[in-house]
Amino acid sequence: MYAVTNRRVMLITGTSSRSVRSITPTDIAGVNYRERPDGRGDVMIRTNSVMRTNNGSTQITVGLYGVRNVKEVAGLVMKLRAQPVAS
């Protein structure tokens, strides 16, 4: 399950015990989406986090898969990314 609020994107997993991953506006480096003919699709969020490996490093991308109204959801994530940073 996914949620986009005015403060973060949340990825909620699990049934009997829940796990929540939160992505804040400052974590978001970029947003892309793929839309299928029925309006569903996938939102790909490129984060500022980096995973280090023996061969170097890779920027972490988080996917929201099978999202209804994917264009609208991607727009909400882009709007969240564009918010000014609170001081």
Count of CA atoms in the C-beta half-sphere (13 A) of 76:
16
pLDDT at 21: 93
pLDDT at 53: 80
Q: In this structure, what token pair is assigned to residue 37? A: 């003919």
Query: pLDDT by residue (tens digit) across 59-84?
Result: 899 999 999 999 999 999 999 999 87
Q: In this structure, what token pair is assigned to residue 67? A: 């999202």
Q: Which pTM was predicted?
A: 0.85
Q: Is a pLDDT exceeding 70 seen at residue 86?
A: no
The residues near 14 (Cβ < 8 Å, ≥ 6 apart) are none
Q: Is a pLDDT exceeding 90 seen at residue 51?
A: no
pLDDT at 38: 97
Name the H helices within the chain: 70-82
Strand 28-35 and strand 41-53: the pairing is antiparallel
Do 67 and 83 touch, CB atoms closer than 8 A?
no
